[in-house]
Every structure is written in structure tokens, then in C-alpha cells.
């Protein structure tokens, strides 16, 4: 599988009998120093496996690896990988052969279609515009353009997964708020109003109201009217909330990160 | 006057199939509910308003079959309403609680209004079926809906299993046709993941175009004369439209993007986390972990944790300014492109639909402002869909796009790295076994037929790119792992049962009832 223009990925599973069959071909003196290797063939431009590859390199495998990321460092090349046993004398006994993969080109094609002729200058003008780096970016800067503008900070797909929450400023943070709960009980069919607004009375006659309490003094008028509507009781608690101290974070916190909504990223 | 160029806005909608009838409530089902309240309903409401106001516009929207299946599922519709009722109840309590805090009281009223409007729209306006209004917008000529893969499978990493690639596309087209009553003209390759040659799989379904990231076209061969500002005709004859990065960045970039503006609503401050635990507990899920309720009172404010209350008027004003800025930048961009091109360019701006409303709360307003401004305030360019562009410029350059995706890094890294590479040996083997089984059963009896179809369903669900993505991003990994393991296990059970000719019918019926998507799926698509 292709990871990107420079890396490919291989995984494998070797049946014990396949490995036994290969080992049975070994001469006794070849057993020592036997190594598992991946042999990576460059098969760019070749159709079948009849031709010898342009080149090949080996990667010694350690331990019980069942997969490997291979740094080919070769965009726009085709590869086939074999896993096998390599003797100390250099004899290679293949165990399995991969499918063929082709890494993508990284950079503009050299092929120009005669009926759609484009100049380098025009291409770079459009390229700069596409990459969002302003008008007519210099071709010299293109590798930087690619690395910085084209790919980095791209985003990918998402689900509206609620990511874990952050504080925008790293380090120690505190929030404190106060809610006030007013609660009481009366006769089940009585009516209750707090600051003129009706509050539901439950079948058992209890009632409650929760309010976010601002700083300062609140005078709260609670009117309770009997079921027959003839009698009213009024009570007026006065609540004062005052804050001392400060919870504002210190201004010397490390460079803060702006948590910009970006799907899928925490 | 002929416009100098065109802007094609493409919204991609997708959610993985998440439906758990075996649990009374399920955390991850909320992804759908949040997307309905915050994205799909607000977008539909605005699209309808624009149409009713006589503002002409053309937008392209892709829909994945998993999302379409969930939107039309009775159980999830009922659960969505239950979820919305709870939100309305919470917002009522918030109206009470905030009565002495005017800036918050106003916001509590606003949320209550939004949620009750959402309920009215969902129940009375759309009769719980959101596909229908999208279809109507399509029939009225405002929206160009396009198809996508069955379960958002990432095709470049499926390349060795041709039948699996074809099946993802086939089911995608089939579900689209059922939903929209016509063949799709375009196709959204999940994550814009293109592997050379995959265009040929789209061709037999009558697909005329798909979308790639910018470098898919720019690194195509022969070299593209017009960059990403005109379609490229692939070897199969299907066209590829490349993403314009300049317009994408202005919405997506963490540094310069609009959604990070200090006036916009802060996503990460939600009363589900901010308020006292016992008070919000009834609105959390079974395990009682705090979560985002959707009621958020603060604006981004800046790089501080001392957030200021959200001011909806100010935010709306900013959204309007940002829409004007986006329009103005497209005018400049298109005027410049005209100096290098001998034809009118098409600027293609694809976004995830869920960005609008869910992440970027003001996104739907921004889009509505933009559509109005484009129509009333300028004459340089028009909104267009990719297929409209063919009517103006039927002759386009032939080239083969380069392998690419819009994921971080531009290739396959996001879906192939140390956190998720172990998925592929299973996925590839499953696809091979599926093909073997499909080829081995030509005339199955009804029960065997059902088992084979369910096997195909389990394979498709395991192929969702979401699992690899979630494993990579390290959020909700336990769920992604569980889902993948479950589909793999069920697939294996079915595969064994078919080989032993011993299918457990009650178990099969249970699986069919739970994963009830793709009712018309026929496993024989894997036999070709």
C-alpha cells in the first residue's frame, strides 16, 4: 500500500509450512547468519515480472515484525516487495511477493499536451493562486509552498464528535459561579410567584426555583396565594453575593493556543 | 453581462452508521442528533428561505448512504425527537435560571426558540424526513445532490480489491437513486481520496464528475493548462474538479479562517460542562459523563479562558462582513485568473457540511449572506454546479490526476499509520472472502441469500473510513475499535456458517434488524 510519495507499507503473514519448505532448500552451512529480509524492487515502467528490476534494496527485519513502513523516497515509482530469507552468502529465498504499487508524483508533470499548451510561467501563476499564496508565486519557492501551504494544516473528515474540552490558557484555571435555590412547601393547590413570575407547585405542595446569582444584592419577593385565592403571604429574602479575590489567569502563561473549530481534531 | 467566472460551493454531508437499538440511549447516536439540530435543519431552513425569496443560487451537496439511511430510519427519528424534547426542557429551565443575568437570559430564550423551531420544522414541516426537502430543492433547481460511497470507504487503500471498490460505489449510487429518484451526475470520493484508475469505476454508473484535492489535478499528467480552475477529463472520460485552496483556507485555516473570529460562538464552553452536576445530570447519557448539550453562552473572545458572553447580533454582523469579504476575494481571484486564462474559471470550494452550524455556529448565516450578496451585490461571478460548467465548456483537457486526498499530508497517511494500519490485513482478507463466497453462490436458497447479503453489509460497515480516522485522532477510540471488531466478528461468523452450511437464522434476523441499512443490497455485486 502507498502511504505517500515517499513511503510504502507492507504487511504479511507467512504460513509455517511455506517457511519450512524454504528452509529445507538451505545447505547446512547456510543456516548460520540467516536473516529475514524485505527485498524492495523498483519496477517503474515494467509490466510483467519477467524483466529484472531497475534496482532493489533489502531491509533486515527484526523480531516478529508482520508489517513494515518502507522509505523508498521515490515519488512516481513503482515497487514490488518480496519477503524472504537471506543467507550470509547472499542467497535469497523468497517466501511471498507483494502486489505492485506506484507512488504518486510529487510536483508537476513534465508531459505537456500539444493541444493544451501551457507555459511554466502560466502554470506557476495558477499554481500560486491554487495554493493560496498570492498572485504569481515564484517557482523557486514551490517546495516550500507545497510543504507549508498545500498540505500542512489541512483537515480531514470528521464526525461531529465532541472533542474533549480545553481551557484556552494552559495551566491552572478556575471558574466559580453561584446558583441560588429557593424552595418551599405549601398547600398543594396554592399558587406561588417569585418576582411576579409563577412557579410550578408540585402535587405534594413543594416548589423550587433555581437562579443564577449575580454579584450584588437581590431583593426577592415571593408571593404565595391560598387555593381559594383569598389569602396571600409574602416573604422577601434579601440575598447579597460579593466576591473577594481574583480568578483571572496570570498573564505570563505560555503562548496560548486558539482553539478554532476544526472537525475531528481535539 | 456574461460572468467572468464561477464559484462552485460543495457541501459534503456524512456520518457513520450509528444505530444501537439494543441500548435505550447511546452516546454516539448524538452525533446525528446534533448534526440535525445544528446543521441540517438550519441549512434547509435557509435554503428554502432563499428559494422562496426568489434568490437564484446553485449549490452541490453530497450525501453518504449511511447518513441517508439514518435520516430515514424510524427508530432514530423517534430518538431524535426524544433528544430534542429534552433539550427544550433544559432550555426552559435555563430561561428560569438565568432570569437575573440578562446576557445569558437572552441566550437561553434564543436556544429555546431555536429548539422549538427545530421541532416545528422537523415534525410539521418535514414530517421527520429530511431527505424529502433536500430532494425538493434539487427538483426546484437549487441543489445538485451527488452520491458517495456506501459507508464512506477510503478507496485508495482498497485498491487491490477491485470488487470492494466497485461495491462501495455501486451501493452508493443505488441508495442515492432511491433517495433522490434519479441517477447521480456527480460523486464524492470519501476524503477526496483518489487512486489513478478509480474514475473508470464511476463511468458505468453514468457519473460525469468527482472532486479531488488541488494537487490531484496540479500533479496530474499531462500538466493541466488551467490548474484547478477547469475540470480534467480522466482516461475513462469522467471529469475531476480540483479544490481551490485559497477559498478553502479562508474558512478552514486555524490562523486566518473566519470561524475563529472572536465574535463567534465558542464551541468549547457548554453548560454540560459548566453547570452544577446534579442540575445537568438528567440531560447527560447513561454513564453520567459530562457532555456537550449544545447550549453555549460564550463567544471566542480571544486567546483567554476569560470568555465573554455571546452577542448574537454582533456575531451575525460579523458573519455578514465575512460573507462580503469572501465574495470580494473571489471577485479579485477571478479577475486575476481571467488574466491568465482564456476562459471563465470555475473555483471549487468543498467543505464538510457539518462545519456549518455544528462547529461554526454562524456558518449557515454566513452561507445565506454569501448567496444573497453574490446575487445582489456583484456581477463578476455566479454560483454554479460542476455539471453546469460542462454546458458552458464541454471541451476540457484530458489528463490523469495524481493520487491524493484532502487529509492531513495530502495522501493516505491519516488512514494508514501506526494507530490504524492493523485494520487493513483484516479488511483486505474480508473483501477477498466476500468475493469468494459471492462467486461460490449463484442460486442460493433464501436463507443463504440473506446471510450473504448480511456478510456484505458487515464488510461495508467495517470499511467506513471513520474507524481509521477516529483511531488516528484518539477521540472515541474505544467505540471505533468496538465497531470494527464487531463487524469483523460477525462477518467471520457468517463466512464460517456459509462454509459449514449452518446458518443461525434467529441470530441473522437480529443482525438484520439492528444494521438495517441497504435493504436492497445484493451480494452478487461482489461476484463480478
CA triple B102-A216-A181, angle to 5 deg: 70
* CB-based contact A2 B225, cutoff 8 Å: no
**Can you read off the three cell numbers belonging to residue B192?**
477526496
pLDDT attached to residue A129: 63
Residue whose cell numbers read 448524538: B30
| Beta pairing, strands A78-86 & A35-42 | antiparallel
pLDDT at B256: 75
Grid coordinates 430561561 are at which residue?
Answer: B95
**Rounded average pLDDT over B500-523:** 96
pLDDT value at position A146? 56
What's the sign of the alpha-carbon dihedral B469, B471, B472, B475?
A: positive
Judged against a pLDDT cut of 80, whether residue B5 lies above it is answered with: yes
SS3 for A27?
coil
Exposure b/e, B381-412, CB count within 10 A at least 16 = b: bbbbbbbbbbeeeeebbebbbbbbbbbbebbb
Q: What is the pLDDT of residues B355-394, one digit of tens each?
A: 999 999 999 999 999 999 999 999 999 999 999 999 999 9
**DSSP states along A129-191:** HHHTS-TT--GGGHHHIIIIIIITT---------PPP--SS-S-------EEEEEEE--TT-E
What sign does the CA torsion over B159, B161, B162, B168 have? negative
d(CA B192, CA B410): 10
Q: What is the predicted pLDDT for the residue at B306? A: 83
Nearest to A211 among B97, B221, B358 (CB): B97
Contact B219 A130 (CB under 8 A): no
Subunit contact B223:A109, Cβ cutoff 8 A: yes
Check CB contact under 8 Å for A153 and B254.
Answer: yes
Residues of chain A with pLDDT under 50: 134-137, 139-140, 151-169, 251-266
Question: Which of B15, B190, B195, B340 would best serve as a mutation to test chain A binding (most A beta carbons within 10 A)?
Answer: B340
Enumerate residues 6+ apart whose C-beta is below 8 A from B477.
B470, B471
Chain A positions in Cβ-Cβ contact with residue B275 (cut-off 8 Å): 179
B chain contacts of residue A220, beta-carbon cutoff 8 Å: none
Quote the pLDDT of residue B475. Answer: 82
CB-based burial label for B339 (10 Å; 0-12, 13-18, 19+): exposed
What does DSSP assign to residue B377?
S
Residues from chain A that touch B398, judged by Cβ atoms under 8 A, are 113
pLDDT digits (tens, 9 = 90+) for B220-269: 999 999 999 999 999 999 999 999 988 988 888 766 789 999 999 999 99
**Interchain CB distance below 8 Å, B97 and A212:** yes
CA angle, residues B17, B23, B29, in degrees to nearest 5? 35
pLDDT in tens, B286-341: 888 999 999 999 999 988 878 999 999 999 999 999 999 999 999 999 999 999 89
Rounded to an integer, what distance in angstroms lies between the CA atom of residue B90 and that of residue A199? 16
- The pTM is what? 0.91
Residue B382: asked if its preceding bond is cis (omega within 30°), the reply is no
- Answer yes or no: do B410 and A151 touch at CB < 8 A: yes
Mean residue pLDDT of chain B comes to: 95
- The predicted pLDDT at position B448 comes to 97
Which residue, chain included where needed, has cell 418576582?
Answer: A195
Record: contact A113-B399, CB cut-off 8 A: yes
Query: Coil, strand or helix: which one is B305?
Result: coil
Whole-angstrom CA distances from B134 to A73, A76, B127, B137, B350 are 46, 42, 13, 5, 18
Nearest CA in chain A to B16: A159
pLDDT confidence band for B439 (50 / 70 / 90): very high
Contact A261/B34, CB-based, under 8 Å? no
The kind and range of the H/E element at B262 are none
Name residues whose C-beta falls within 8 Å of residue A17's C-beta, 6 or more positions apart in sequence. none
SS (H, E, C) B174-233: HHHHHHHCCCCCEEECHHHCECCCCHHHHHHHCCCEEEECHHHHHCCECCCCCCCCCCEE
Q: Which pLDDT does position B194 carry in this prediction?
A: 98
* Closest residue, chain A, to B294 (C-alpha): A162
Angle between the N-to-C axes of helices B477-500 and B446-462, in degrees from 0 to 180, rounded to the nearest 10: 150
Q: How far apart are CA A78 and CA B86, in angstroms?
A: 57
| Cell numbers at B393, concatenated | 465548456
Per-residue pLDDT at B173: 98
Whether residue A122 and residue B225 make contact (CB cut-off 8 A), yes or no, is yes
CB contact under 8 A, A258 and B303: yes
pLDDT of residue B50 exceeding 50: yes
B122 has pLDDT over 50 = yes
Residue of B70, B106, B107, B218 to mutate, interface with A, max A Cβ within 10 Å: B218
- Pick the more confident residue, A150 or B501: B501
Minimal-distance CA residue of chain B relative to A175 = B274
Three cell numbers written together for A251: 498573564
Mean pLDDT of B501-527: 96
Residue with the three cell numbers 402535587: A203
Q: CA-to-CA distance for B398 and B222, rounded, in angstroms? A: 8
Query: CB A262 to CB B333 under 8 A?
Result: no
pLDDT digits (tens, 9 = 90+) for B399-429: 999 999 999 889 999 999 999 999 999 999 9
Give contacts of A 43-72 with B, CB under 8 A.
Answer: 67
Q: Which of B399, B423, B391 is nearest to B194 (CA)?
A: B399
pLDDT of residue B255: 66
CA neighbor of B87 nearest in space, from B339, B323, B272, B239: B272
Please indicate whether, in this complex, the C-beta atoms of A109 and B98 are within 8 angstroms of each other: no
Please report, for residues A75, B175, B508, the alpha-carbon distance to residue B69 in angstroms, rounded to integers and kept in the order given.
40, 8, 20
| E strand intervals along B357-453 | 381-383
Nearest to B268 among A151, A161, A166 (CB): A166
Which residues in chain B have their CB less than 8 angstroms from residue A259's CB? 267-268
B301: left (phi over 0), alpha (psi -120 to 50) or beta: left
Q: How far apart are CA A203 and CA B293, in angstroms?
A: 30
Rg of chain B over all Cα atoms, to the nearest angstrom? 24
Residue B209's pLDDT is 98
Distances (CA, A) of B198 to A158, B165, B237, B282, B292: 23, 8, 12, 49, 39
By the 10 Å C-beta count (0-12 exposed, 13-18 middle, 19+ buried), B480 is classed as buried
State which residue of chain A sits closest to B302, comparing Cα positions: A258
The answer to whether residues B515 and B461 touch, using CB atoms and an 8 Å cutoff, is yes
A171 and B CB contact within 8 Å? no
Q: Kindly report the nearest CA distance between residue B182 and chain A, in angstroms.
A: 27
Is the confidence at residue B434, as pLDDT, over 80? Answer: yes
pLDDT tens for residues B144-201? 999 999 999 999 999 999 999 999 999 999 999 999 999 999 999 999 999 999 999 9
Smallest CA–CA distance, residue A151 to chain B, in Å, is: 5
Amino acid at each position: 500500500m502507498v502511504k505517500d510519495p515517499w513511503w510504502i507499507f507492507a504487511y504479511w503473514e507467512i504460513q509455517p509450512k511455506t517457511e519450512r519448505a524454504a528452509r529445507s532448500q538451505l545447505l547446512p552451512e547456510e543456516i548460520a547468519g540467516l536473516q529475514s529480509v524485505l527485498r524492495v524492487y523498483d519496477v517503474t515502467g515494467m509490466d510483467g515480472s519477467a524483466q529484472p528490476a531497475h534496482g532493489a534494496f533489502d531491509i533486515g527485519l527484526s523480531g516478529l515484525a508482520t508489517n513494515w513502513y518502507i522509505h523508498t523516497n521515490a515519488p512516481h515509482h513503482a515497487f514490488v516487495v518480496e519477503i524472504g530469507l537471506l543467507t550470509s552468502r547472499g542467497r535469497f529465498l523468497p517466501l511471498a511477493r507483494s502486489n505492485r504499487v506506484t507512488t504518486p508524483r510529487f510536483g508537476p508533470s513534465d508531459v505537456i499536451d500539444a493541444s493544451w499548451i501551457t507555459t511554466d510561467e502560466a502554470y506557476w501563476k495558477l499554481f500560486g493562486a491554487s495554493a493560496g499564496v498570492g498572485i504569481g508565486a515564484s517557482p523557486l519557492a514551490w517546495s516550500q509552498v507545497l510543504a507549508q501551504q498545500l498540505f500542512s494544516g489541512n483537515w480531514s473528515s470528521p464526525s461531529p464528535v465532541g472533542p474533549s474540552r480545553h481551557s484556552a490558557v494552559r495551566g491552572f484555571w478556575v471558574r466559580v459561579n453561584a446558583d441560588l435555590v429557593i424552595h418551599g412547601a405549601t398547600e398543594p393547590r396554592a399558587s406561588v410567584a417569585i418576582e411576579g413570575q409563577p412557579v410550578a407547585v408540585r402535587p405534594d405542595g413543594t416548589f423550587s426555583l433555581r437562579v443564577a446569582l449575580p454579584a450584588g444584592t437581590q431583593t426577592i419577593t415571593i408571593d404565595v396565594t391560598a387555593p381559594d385565592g383569598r389569602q396571600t403571604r409574602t416573604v422577601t429574602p434579601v440575598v447579597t453575593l460579593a466576591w473577594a479575590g481574583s480568578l483571572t489567569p496570570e498573564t505570563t502563561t505560555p503562548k496560548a493556543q486558539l482553539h478554532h473549530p476544526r472537525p475531528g481534531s481535539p | 453581462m456574461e460572468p467572468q467566472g464561477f464559484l462552485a460551493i460543495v457541501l459534503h454531508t456524512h456520518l457513520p452508521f450509528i444505530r444501537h437499538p439494543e441500548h435505550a440511549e447511546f452516546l454516539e447516536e448524538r452525533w446525528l442528533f446534533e448534526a440535525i439540530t445544528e446543521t441540517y435543519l438550519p441549512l434547509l431552513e435557509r435554503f428554502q428561505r432563499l428559494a422562496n425569496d426568489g434568490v437564484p443560487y446553485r449549490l452541490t451537496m453530497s450525501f453518504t448512504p449511511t447518513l441517508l439511511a439514518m435520516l430515514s430510519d424510524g427508530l432514530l427519528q423517534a430518538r431524535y425527537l426524544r433528544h430534542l424534547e429534552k433539550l427544550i426542557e433544559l432550555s426552559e429551565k435555563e430561561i428560569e435560571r438565568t432570569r437575573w443575568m440578562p446576557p445569558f437570559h437572552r441566550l437561553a430564550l434564543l436556544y429555546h426558540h431555536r429548539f422549538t423551531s427545530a421541532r416545528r420544522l422537523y415534525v410539521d414541516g418535514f414530517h421527520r424526513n429530511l431527505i424529502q426537502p433536500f430532494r425538493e430543492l434539487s427538483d426546484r433547481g437549487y441543489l445538485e445532490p451527488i452520491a458517495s460511497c456506501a459507508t464512506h470507504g477510503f478507496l485508495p487503500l482498497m485498491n487491490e480489491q477491485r470488487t470492494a471498490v466497485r461495491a462501495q460505489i455501486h451501493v452508493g449510487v443505488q441508495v442515492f437513486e432511491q433517495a433522490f429518484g434519479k441517477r447521480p451526475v456527480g460523486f464524492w470520493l470519501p476524503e477526496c481520496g483518489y487512486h489513478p484508475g478509480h474514475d473508470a469505476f464511476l463511468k458505468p454508473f453514468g457519473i460525469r464528475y468527482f472532486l479531488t484535492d488541488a494537487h490531484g489535478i496540479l500533479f496530474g499528467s499531462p500538466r493541466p493548462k488551467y490548474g484547478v480552475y477547469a475540470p480534467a477529463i480522466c482516461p475513462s472520460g469522467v471529469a475531476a474538479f480540483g479544490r481551490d485552496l485559497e477559498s478553502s483556507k479562508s474558512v478552514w485555516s486555524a490562523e486566518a479562517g473566519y470561524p475563529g473570529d472572536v465574535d463567534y460562538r465558542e464551541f468549547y464552553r457548554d453548560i454540560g460542562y459548566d453547570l452544577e452536576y446534579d442540575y445537568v445530570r438528567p440531560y447527560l447519557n447513561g454513564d453520567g459523563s459530562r457532555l456537550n448539550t449544545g447550549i453555549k453562552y460564550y463567544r471566542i473572545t480571544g486567546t483567554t479562558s476569560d470568555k465573554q458572553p455571546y452577542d448574537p447580533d454582533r456575531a451575525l454582523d460579523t458573519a455578514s462582513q465575512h460573507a462580503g469579504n469572501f465574495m470580494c476575494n473571489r471577485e479579485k481571484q477571478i479577475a486575476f485568473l481571467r488574466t491568465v486564462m482564456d476562459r471563465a474559471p470555475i473555483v471549487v470550494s468543498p467543505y464538510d457540511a457539518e462545519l456549518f452550524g455544528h462547529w461554526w455556529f454562524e456558518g449557515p448565516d454566513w452561507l445565506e449572506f454569501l448567496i444573497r450578496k453574490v446575487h445582489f451585490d456583484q456581477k463578476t461571478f455566479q454560483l454554479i454546479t460542476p455539471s453546469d460548467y460542462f454546458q458552458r465548456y464541454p471541451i476540457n483537457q484530458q489528463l490523469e490526476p495524481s493520487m491524493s486526498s484532502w487529509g492531513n499530508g495530502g495522501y493516505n497517511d491519516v488512514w494508514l499509520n501506526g494507530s490504524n494500519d492493523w485494520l487493513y490485513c483484516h479488511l483486505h482478507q474480508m473483501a477477498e472472502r466476500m468475493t469468494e463466497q459471492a462467486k461460490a453462490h449463484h442460486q442460493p436458497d433464501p436463507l443463504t441469500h440473506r446471510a450473504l447479503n448480511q456478510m456484505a453489509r458487515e464488510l461495508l460497515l467495517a470499511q467506513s473510513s471513520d474507524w481509521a480516522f477516529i483511531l488516528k485522532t484518539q477521540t472515541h477510540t474505544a467505540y471505533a475499535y468496538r465497531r470494527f471488531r464487531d463487524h469483523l466478528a460477525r462477518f467471520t461468523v457468517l463466512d464460517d456458517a456459509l462454509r459449514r452450511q449452518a446458518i443461525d437464522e434467529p441470530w441473522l434476523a437480529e443482525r438484520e434488524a439492528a444494521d438495517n441499512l441497504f435493504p436492497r443490497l445484493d451480494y452478487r455485486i461482489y461476484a463480478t
